[in-house]
Structure 1
Amino acid sequence: NAPLCQSSGEAFYNVSPFTLRDLKNRAKQQQLKADFEAYLDGFSPNVQEILDKFKFRNQIPTLIEADILGYLIEKFLDGRINLSPKLVQDVDGNEILPALDNHAMGTIFEELIRRFNEENNEEAGEHFTPRDVVKLMADLIFLPVADDIESGTYLVYDGACGTGGMLTVAEERLAELSSKHGKEVSIHLYGQEINAETYAITKSDLLLKGEGAET
């Protein structure tokens, strides 16, 4: 898989003959369905795991029946939307659209969960931890030992990682404090999550940031 990842420039790859832009112009729903499924099947094993956790393929018949799969693809291709952790620039290097970092993605996810909870009368705490609480917890962990941080490799583990916000904030805080003290550190993130959908969100975020390439 390493040569394919190197070729794609990401921690994942797709070997299907299609891109989303190719699928945009499919007029017949059944042809769109077949080609879209082939597009999904072309992703690397680490992305396949994410698709399985989201049960995304189970939604395709519903999207086809409602005649909205093509519309959904168009939304992903909309030039006014950037769901990537990399900013969009013009030919002169000027920013057109900002990058979507873990915090922003977490905020979007939390808003979706809030709406879901309102409709289903569920508790939000199972799905996410408020960002201010995450930052406070990271400070409680690292600030007391900030002067003792040495150069080296650090493993950050969260046994109930949710959407990965705490892992990301912990990584950022550790990197910030080590740099402030003139130390060079390499940080590796590890997490577990019982909820399949939130696990998939975390894995997606790590892959888009170039981490979590192993399957």
Structure 2
Amino acid sequence: MTTSNILQYESKIWATADLLRGCGIKESEWPSYMMPFFALVMIESRLLRMLDEYKAEIGEEEWAEIDKEDQIELIRDKGQGYNTYIFEKNQTLKDICKNDKSFNIDFEAYLHGFDSETKDLLGVDATDGEKFLDIKGVITKLNAKKVLLGYTKEWSGIDLKPFNNSDITTLEEHIKRRWADISAETAGEQYTPDDVIGLIAEIIASKIEESDRLLKIYDCTCGGGNLLFGVEDRINEKFNRFTQTYGQDWNDALY
């Protein structure tokens, strides 16, 4: 997949705001409603892609012969995130949206099925004083307007699994630039050009060596994570190493 391919999703993602407009949510508030769900589909796609890559590495037949509990332990040991619905029940956000009668219960369980770091990132249990990706608060507001299921369905139809982390964060960069036009809160953000990311990623990858140790990658001013994931993708292209990314941004939230 190429960057041009993934940018075709920009209009589809932006179209989710039509439902927000329809229920009277102000344009200036759209980013706060869209960002948590965009993060959600990005995270899910990354977990699904990680699982497919792991199966390919081990072999589909060999993977199928591994006990379910051992599969779960192997996935957890990778340290790249977890969700009980995805890995234990083989259900995605799109699957959950198919049953409108049990949706609210299933969606809440799905969100609480993430690992603790991901739940903190999304704001699954955010308190009133927390502002970073408050998906809990957004869900409450959408429920009150009776559009939560419809809104979640719109996002669940956006399949980012075929794209790598760098491609996805390039898409995020384009979306956030549009958010910046309507929100003073994001107007001051800066974006790293793709060619600069490529150069930095190549320089860093040239300093890495093969090893069976977990490689941790940290960016103290990661913004949308485009540089952070660009470096990770380049390292993964050159080496067979487990990697874990950390970034600091938006109200000093760590993810």
| Coarse TM-score class (shorter-chain normalised) | 0.5 to 0.7
Segment of structure 1 superposing worse, 153-162 or 46-55: 153-162
Residue 14 of structure 1: how far off its partner (Å): 2.2
Whether 1:26 aligns to 2:100 is yes
Segment of structure 1 superposing worse, 69-78 or 104-113: 69-78
Residue 59 of structure 1: how far off its partner (Å): 0.6
Residue 113 of structure 1: how far off its partner (Å): 1.2
How far, CA to CA, are the matches of 2:233 and 2:114 in structure 1?
Answer: 29
Whether 1:169 aligns to 2:246 is no
* Paired residue secondary structure (1:157): strand
How far, CA to CA, are the matches of 1:57 and 1:8 in structure 2?
Answer: 30
Alpha-carbon distance change, 62 to 4 in structure 1, aligned in 2, over 3 angstroms? farther
Residue 76 of structure 1: how far off its partner (Å): 4.0
Residue 150 of structure 1: how far off its partner (Å): 4.7
How far, CA to CA, are the matches of 2:243 and 2:221 in structure 1?
Answer: 16
* Equivalenced residues, count: 168
Cross-structure match for 2:160: 83
Alpha-carbon distance change, 71 to 170 in structure 1, aligned in 2, over 3 angstroms? same
How far, CA to CA, are the matches of 1:5 and 1:197 in structure 2?
Answer: 34
Alpha-carbon distance change, 63 to 197 in structure 1, aligned in 2, over 3 angstroms? farther
* Paired residue secondary structure (1:124): coil
Give CA-to-partner distance per residue, 1:160-208, whole Å, 9 cap, x none.
22233223322344455xx5xxxx6636344341315985xxx4xxxxx
Give CA-to-partner distance per residue, 1:20-45, whole Å, 9 cap, x none.
43443325xxx754553243233332
Cross-structure match for 2:150: 71
TM-score by length of 1: 0.58
Gaps of 5+ in 1: 85-98, 204-215
* Paired residue secondary structure (1:49): helix
Aligned residues of 1:156 and 1:171 also touching (Cα < 8 A): yes
Whether 1:134 aligns to 2:204 is no
Give CA-to-partner distance per residue, 1:131-186, whole Å, 9 cap, x none.
222123334x348xx4x76544555432222233223322344455xx5xxxx663
Cross-structure match for 1:12: 82
How far, CA to CA, are the matches of 1:22 and 1:156 in structure 2?
Answer: 33
How far, CA to CA, are the matches of 1:36 and 1:76 in structure 2?
Answer: 13
Give CA-to-partner distance per residue, 1:61-100, whole Å, 9 cap, x none.
221233221112322443xx4122xxxxxxxxxxxxxx02
2:243 aligned to which of 188, 195, 206: 188
RMSD of Structure 2 on Structure 1 (CA): 3.8
Aligned residues of 2:220 and 2:249 also touching (Cα < 8 A): no
Whether 1:123 aligns to 2:217 is no
Amino acid at match of 2:178: R
1:27-106 equivalence runs, <5 A = 32-52=103-123, 53-78=132-157, 81-84=158-161, 99-106=162-169
Amino acid at match of 2:72: Q
1:104-119 equivalence runs, <5 A = 104-119=167-182
Alpha-carbon distance change, 197 to 149 in structure 1, aligned in 2, over 3 angstroms? closer
How far, CA to CA, are the matches of 1:43 and 1:175 in structure 2?
Answer: 24
Amino acid at match of 2:175: L
TM-score by length of 2: 0.51
